[in-house]
């Protein structure tokens, strides 16, 4: 996610607890969705769709935070 901001992400994960929490939540949600799609964890299409929307919302919020730290 956001390879152009890799260094900034690394820095913010250690310096900004809010960013770090959002980043970790996004990653956990991504793994949960993958497990559901692979049928490792049972889920219906509506539940997966809802989680994907939440993941996208988190990604948008992370991007906005990254943009505020770019000169």
Q: Which residue has the tokens 């992400």?
A: 9
d(CA 71, CA 61): 18
Record the pTM.
0.91
Q: Tens digit of pLDDT for each residue in 12-64?
A: 999 999 999 999 999 999 999 999 999 999 999 999 999 999 999 999 999 99
Closest CA to 49 of 33, 25, 35: 33
Are the CB atoms for 69 and 15 separated by under 8 Å?
A: no
Q: Which two tokens stand for residue 52?
A: 């994907």
Domain boundaries, the chain: 3-68
3-class DSSP assignment, residue 39: coil
């Amino acid at each position: 996610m956001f390879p152009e901001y890799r260094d900034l992400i690394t820095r913010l994960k250690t310096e900004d607890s809010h960013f770090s929490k959002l980043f970790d939540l996004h990653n956990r949600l991504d793994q949960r969705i993958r497990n559901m799609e692979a049928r490792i964890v049972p889920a219906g299409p509506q539940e997966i769709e809802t989680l994907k929307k939440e993941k996208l919302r988190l990604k948008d919020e992370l991007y906005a935070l990254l943009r505020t730290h770019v000169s």
